[in-house]
Amino acid sequence: MSNDYEVMISSEEIMQGIRELGKTLSDYYLGKQIVLIPLLKGGFMFAADLIRSMDVQMQIEFLGAASYGEQTKSSGEVRLTLDTTLPLSGRDVLLVEDIVDTGLTLAYIQRLIKSRDPASLHTVVLLDKKIRRKVEVEVDRVVFNIPDRFVFGYGLDSPGGFGRNLSDIVAKKE
């Protein structure tokens, strides 16, 4: 990683936060069978660590979303790039997302899932930039609240398109 970037959340801090969330969710879903849905692309690494911190019977499905517009800014117009294969009707669904910014992506995806009549929908996000919210969106658990800075690493893409594989969450130095 170049000197222009600084670590905002280290991989150790991320893993500790995820282990705590995993325990909370294991208690919350005690005795239930759930459908866990990572939202791609950004949510894949968070979901991979979270599912291994949870002691819950689960099936895993995937949803993919991309927003039109500039790379560092969501335009609000969301495009579904990948859909689930299992029916969600009557199921307890856990949606796993990397970051909530304006809320537009999550609002769109939550509407889509709810239209399929699940028994419940719970949403967890790794990062929340609350100050940027444009639409109200239900987020049940947040691992880290962050300021209004563009971050990448740990599954989240960098403007150049090569940042997803970093273990830490980083940002450009200000």
**157 is a site residue for ligand 5GP (CB under 6 A):** yes
Residue 93 or residue 171: which is nearer to ligand 5GP going by CB? 171
Q: Which of 28, 44, 144, 150 binds ligand 5GP (CB under 6 A)?
A: 150
Q: Which of 50, 100, 124, 142 binds ligand 5GP (CB under 6 A)?
A: 100
Under DSSP, is residue 149 helix (H, G, I), strand (E, B) or coil? Answer: coil
Q: What is the DSSP string of 2-66?
A: -TTEEEEE-HHHHHHHHHHHHHHHHHHTTT-EEEEEEEETTTHHHHHHHHHT--SEEEE--EEEE
> Among this protein's residues, is 168 annotated catalytic?
no
| Number of C-beta neighbours around residue 73 at 10 A | 12
**47 is a site residue for ligand 5GP (CB under 6 A):** no
Smallest gap, in angstroms, from Cβ of residue 49 to ligand 5GP? 17
**42 is a site residue for ligand 5GP (CB under 6 A):** yes
Under DSSP, is residue 151 helix (H, G, I), strand (E, B) or coil? Answer: strand
Q: x/- contact string, 105-134, with ligand 5GP (CB under 6 A)?
A: xx----------------------------
- Packing angle of the helix pair 44-52, 11-28 (nearest 10 deg): 60
Active site residues: 101
Which residues make up the interface to ligand 5GP (CB under 6 A)? 42, 67, 74, 98-106, 150-152, 156-157
